[in-house]
Structure 1
Amino acid sequence: MMNTILSKDKNSSALTELNHYKNLFFIALFSYVLVYGFELTHFTLSIDEEFFDNFTQTMMLGRWGHALIRHYLLPEPFVPFFTTALCLIFLSVAAVLSALYLKLNKYQSAAYIVMLAALPQLAYQIQFSNQSDTVALSILFSTLSLFTLDAHRLKGYVQFIVLTIASLSIYQSVFLFAASLLCVRFTILAIRKETELSQLVKKTAIYIGLTLVALILNSLLSKLCAYYYNIPTSSYLTSMIGWGKLSPGEIIFTVGSYIYNCFTFNAPFGMNALPFTLFWMMAICLLALRKRSQFFLILTLCIVTIASCFIMNVILGAWLPPRTMIQAPVIFAGLFAAVLVSTGFILDRHKIFISCIPAIFLISGAISSNKLFYSDYMAREADAHFSLQIIDTIYSKYPDFDIKKTPVFFYGSYTPANAWRLACADAFGASFFEWDGGNNSRIYAWLKSANIADFVHPDAEEVARASKFGDELPAWPNRGSVFLHDGVMIVKIGPQLSPYNK
């Protein structure tokens, strides 16, 4: 009889725990859908989404895991709705697992998960559907890797290395998500008085050592894959390094200015909630001081956690686009969760009031994120309208123009009017006719993928002749900018020739 009762209690407990995780998953999914709903329901071709085959490019960039997943498992380059939906599902699972890793209770977990979605940094990743689902999978791998460290056994360390390599092979900077999550874990453990400095130093040393092993092995595997597929490696990542190219003073100014902007409400659009991490830190430290609880250790851990947001900037010594700050949401949400852990009895008395904070940030993040995606949607509308104007001008001036035989060359760049474009929003709202100074490869690919026109590309000699003749033509909107010369239809949309078209 007793065994039966214990068995029932155990099954009931397991069912309750399963329901808890299920509820957290749906809270996460609801939050992410609210924040990224416009992209989910209104697929829009963004910059870098115009090419149908990215295998060679991603392999060149060292993202061999992404290339292989796309080549053998997931659709290349993406499928509207499905790719974004899969991305949000992966993110939701990662959110639940990260809350579990932090050992938060039900209420803290729910608040933490909502805050993760509330800082819409991932908009700058989800914008690129050709990698949004795999980046989310990389975040999931990065989160899972931390669970293996707690075993403190060789098997766990090997699993950590494998999962970290899996994450790195998709997107190199995602492993920093785990680094920031680990910092948050340390902070919460210190608040709970469940750790000491010596333990934290030991765990940090193990994490750094194993991560370095994973980085080295990933680099070797990346070169091996590139060699197997006979693909050269790209200098894209090394070109971003500032060390050795700029003086130490210039690097300090560049990185310092970047950090300063992030905490003075001048961050990339949608990320202006990031300065609130300083408020979370102050609240945590004040409560620790009041309780006389490891104040200096907690203060140090809070500072290290916030600083982890800018590890890549310091390593490279450069300004980086907002899509690389993948760890920002976990720092923002994690330190807020740490505040909840610190408050204890205060939280129990004022749950309804405190619940308003994640809700307010979630609404704000959803507004910002959907504005970003709508600006991209309107950019494509503007691009389409501009394209039709050009095509109409070509056929008006040259009724016998044969789109299947006569090559077309775009000289310069042009930015169609977009009233919805936002300041400091990276590639959001940008035109294909302006990016890279009017890169013909991008323009041709976008026109084809948007089903507007499939122009014949000029060869190298035709490009040279068209470039020279184009110097003398007036620029758009002067209709004289469209001119048929020596068998090439020249469309001068701007005064400056793009370096990508020479």
Structure 2
Amino acid sequence: MHTEFKTKAKTVFKWAALGAALTLAFTWVLLRSPILMPKLNIEVENFPAEKSQLYYKKLTPYSEQNSVFKKIDPSRTRFQFQLPFYDDELRWDPLENAEAFDLKSVSISLLAYRMNISMDDVNPSFQLQKTFRNNLYFFSAPPGSTDPQITIHINSAHLEKVRAYIAFMLAALLSLATIGWIVWHPIIMAYFQKESSWATRLKAVVKNDNFSVIEFSTFLSIGIILNLIPLTNFFLSVDDEVGAFRTDPSVWIADGRWTAFLVEKFIFPLPVLPFVPNLFFYVCLAASYMLILRSHNLTFTKLTALTYCVFVAHPVWWFIAEFYSNLPSTGLGVLCLSISLYIVSRIDLSAGANKTKLLAFACASLLLAAAIGAYQSLVMFYLAIGMGIIIFAAKTNTTPLSNGLRPLFKRIALIAAVFLCGLVLYAFINKIAKHFYPTNPGYLDSFLKLDALLENPLFITKLTVYEMFKIYTGSEQTFGVDFFISAIMLCLATLLLITQKTWKASARMMLFIAALLISPFLLHFVTGGNNLPLRSMLAVSFISWFSVMVVLEYKGRIRVLGLVLSALLVFQIVTINGQYSASTLLATNHDRLTAEEIYKQIAESNPQFDRNARAHIDIFGKLSFNSRYPSPDSSTMSASFFDWDDGNGNRMIKYMQLVGFRNVFPLQPSDRIALTPKFKNMPVWPAPGSVRLDNGVYLIKLSEKPDPTHAQYH
């Protein structure tokens, strides 16, 4: 017994000694490696230069050798400097001449640790002035400045302690991992080489439902071909300038879109990009469609490939695709709800509840919550597909006995239960998100009009029915161009569905069809009947697909008629999207040419114009843009940055900065209002004299009618 104890004690001592030695060695390596090199983060706004210089020292004077130049990170409008060594003082040379900028924050990061530096410890030391305005610190260098400098005070002793603590903790974890690998590596290798039960189940699902790479590639190719223009062009729509300069994705939390926040935070930190967001979106739609087919007990055939053309190219997708920031999260949301409904369609309701079913129910509910968190209107998409599943299950069921309908009603109850549970989960996670990111929900509140529904429910219902009629008939008022063949297909599909063998089956089918058609418009009842943009009506694309699929399921002359109408429908969809493309291309080119010409006239108005120096401009009025091509009311496809909001100077200037004119900056609203009289005798752009320099400010007059800011002058 004594010998056994001594042996165990020796073994423990041996491993403990090895662990201690490894910990010390790893700590020494980590402290001297770039992994634990602190980074100084300086977040700015309206910064006029592309790069700046930081000096660091330790028991020595500042020198060029101990300094580094860094370019600004455009996706986060910040500088990030590594600190190889440091003491309590750092020197930042932000500019090379007379300029100005706003400073949002200064911090030091070290892996997951972040130490904020008080603005009291960030002070000008040479040729700079510091003031506080609009909740930001404003630094300005007076004329003649050649070497503006800022001193940043940090607590170097505290930072060294943090580095040592993190190094020791990481070293201890690495030591434990090393010893664990030495002792248990045979077991670990055996575990990871064994296929997990989840992988086995997934393989079984893929095999049983015939999912294939060929099918996915076919659907993805169809999506890319039919949407080639938005994929191969870079359309900057109104609001894209906001997304391009956004540094904090928590604005999505204010809209209740916490999935969109996660997507922009971790997948697309700079969402305003050509090609990539669109490609990601069509990848998600292709995968979603494969799941939607199986949910309806359909398979990959030439007919389902044809109907995918109607689904993926439906004009309603264009309205959501106008904003690059919306695309990735919406695509992911559609994929989540498709997986949710696929799970629901595969739950066996003939047996009692068990652990597997409860887990499937929980997963379906959580996925629906994630879809709603991506875009709230997707909840109506879920309901529409859910009703489609029910109709496909019921359309051949003519059993008069209630017993035969029990599985159908169980499926309805399950879809409803997942819907309610998903809403509860969404609201719960949304509450948590808003606790950590408190925001103003003003945008969402602007849509909700519950008081109008309570005061006059019949009137709101009438408005909603009118909106349904316009959208389902492809009204030019809604789409900007006639879209009538979809209405013909919908009527034909409805006629075929309600033609059942019994009156009861026909009546039941009519109720299901009514529920399907109403489901995309449920939010209209709480938003005043017609207060939702068309981009929120994504479920309409499914209903168009559904009507085509119903018709093509029949054989003989009905299928021939369906194929002819489907071909005409696809042609009309492609034509409509072509008109939308023309409208967007013209608006994009118009704005780019306008920005270039305005900038050219700004430069010509000042013989000493310096493109690297800050140029303060004030824009009066707006420049109207009219196109021969469609311009639907709820769309920005033919909208101009120089026309939107009746003339929004800040939006125009942000757009000019985005396309490359980075030295133009807006004035404060109060300063703009005060300048209103100076525009009175100026001609309207592009006449000579419509752009002029006045006391260091470039005045630009786009119209005689004032914009909302200048209209405040009395």
- TM bucket (normalised to shorter chain) is 0.7 to 0.9
Cα deviation, residue 297, structure 1: 1.1
**Which whole-Å CA distance do the structure 1 matches of 2:251 and 2:484 have between them?**
33
Cα distance change of structure 1 residues 500 and 414 upon mapping to structure 2, 3 Å threshold: same
Give TM-score, length-normalised by structure 1.
0.86
1:9-33 Cα deviation digits (max 9, x unpaired): xx9x987964x64443234223322
**Which whole-Å CA distance do the structure 2 matches of 1:294 and 1:352 have between them?**
26
Match of 2:550 among 331, 338, 341: 338
Judge which range, 456-465 or 272-281, deviates more.
272-281
Cα distance change of structure 1 residues 397 and 78 upon mapping to structure 2, 3 Å threshold: closer
SS of residue paired to 1:410 = strand
Cα distance change of structure 1 residues 350 and 338 upon mapping to structure 2, 3 Å threshold: closer
> Aligned residue for 1:359?
567
Cα distance change of structure 1 residues 213 and 17 upon mapping to structure 2, 3 Å threshold: closer
Contact 2:548 2:562 in 1 (8 A): no
Identity among equivalent pairs (%): 19
Query: Which structure has the highest helix share of the two?
Result: 1
Taking CA–CA contacts closer than 8 Å with sequence separation of 6 or more, which of the two structures ends up with the larger relative contact order?
1
Contact 1:184 1:305 in 2 (8 A): yes
Equivalent AA in structure 2 for residue 128 of structure 1 = F
- Runs of at least 4 residues off by over 6 Å: 13-17
Unmatched runs of 5 consecutive residues or more in structure 2: 1-202, 350-356
Question: Does residue 169 of the first structure (1) align with residue 373 of the second (2)?
Answer: yes
**Which whole-Å CA distance do the structure 2 matches of 1:40 and 1:131 have between them?**
15
Contact 1:473 1:480 in 2 (8 A): yes
> Aligned residue for 2:515?
304
> Aligned residue for 1:50?
241
Question: Does residue 284 of the first structure (1) align with residue 493 of the second (2)?
Answer: no
> Aligned residue for 2:603?
395
Question: Does residue 26 of the first structure (1) align with residue 234 of the second (2)?
Answer: no
Contact 2:209 2:294 in 1 (8 A): no
Contact 2:450 2:527 in 1 (8 A): yes
Match of 2:470 among 255, 258, 261: 261
Cα deviation, residue 468, structure 1: 5.5
- Map 1:487-498; keep pairs closer than 5 Å: 487-498=696-707
> Aligned residue for 1:124?
319
Match of 1:103 among 278, 283, 297: 297
Match of 1:324 among 536, 544, 547: 536
Cα deviation, residue 39, structure 1: 0.6
**Which whole-Å CA distance do the structure 1 matches of 2:294 and 2:660 have between them?**
46
Equivalent AA in structure 1 for residue 374 of structure 2 = I
Question: Does residue 133 of the first structure (1) align with residue 313 of the second (2)?
Answer: no
SS of residue paired to 1:491 = strand
> Aligned residue for 1:5?
none
Match of 1:81 among 269, 275, 282: 275
Cα distance change of structure 1 residues 199 and 238 upon mapping to structure 2, 3 Å threshold: farther
> Aligned residue for 1:7?
none
Judge which range, 243-252 or 82-91, deviates more.
243-252
Equivalent AA in structure 1 for residue 394 of structure 2 = A
Question: Does residue 408 of the first structure (1) align with residue 617 of the second (2)?
Answer: yes
Contact 1:21 1:96 in 2 (8 A): no
SS of residue paired to 1:428 = coil
SS of residue paired to 2:328 = helix
> Aligned residue for 1:8?
none
Cα deviation, residue 48, structure 1: 1.8
Question: Does residue 240 of the first structure (1) align with residue 467 of the second (2)?
Answer: no
> Aligned residue for 1:207?
415
Give TM-score, length-normalised by structure 2.
0.62
**Which whole-Å CA distance do the structure 1 matches of 2:629 and 2:392 have between them?**
41
Equivalent AA in structure 2 for residue 33 of structure 1 = I
Equivalent AA in structure 2 for residue 283 of structure 1 = L
**Which whole-Å CA distance do the structure 1 matches of 2:408 and 2:706 have between them?**
55
Tell me which structure has the larger Cα radius of gyration.
2
**Which whole-Å CA distance do the structure 2 matches of 1:356 and 1:495 have between them?**
53
Query: Which structure has the highest strand share of the two?
Result: 2
Cα deviation, residue 224, structure 1: 2.5
Tell me how many residue pairs correspond in the alignment.
484
**Which whole-Å CA distance do the structure 2 matches of 1:200 and 1:499 have between them?**
57
Judge which range, 296-305 or 353-362, deviates more.
353-362
**Which whole-Å CA distance do the structure 2 matches of 1:194 and 1:497 have between them?**
67
**Which whole-Å CA distance do the structure 2 matches of 1:237 and 1:433 have between them?**
26
SS of residue paired to 1:172 = coil
Question: Does residue 219 of the first structure (1) align with residue 427 of the second (2)?
Answer: yes
**Which whole-Å CA distance do the structure 2 matches of 1:62 and 1:458 have between them?**
32
Cα distance change of structure 1 residues 119 and 447 upon mapping to structure 2, 3 Å threshold: same
Contact 2:378 2:539 in 1 (8 A): yes
Cα distance change of structure 1 residues 464 and 216 upon mapping to structure 2, 3 Å threshold: farther
Cα deviation, residue 474, structure 1: 4.8
**Which whole-Å CA distance do the structure 1 matches of 2:504 and 2:313 have between them?**
30
SS of residue paired to 1:407 = strand
SS of residue paired to 1:244 = helix
Cα deviation, residue 103, structure 1: 0.5
Unmatched runs of 5 consecutive residues or more in structure 1: 1-10
Cα deviation, residue 125, structure 1: 1.2
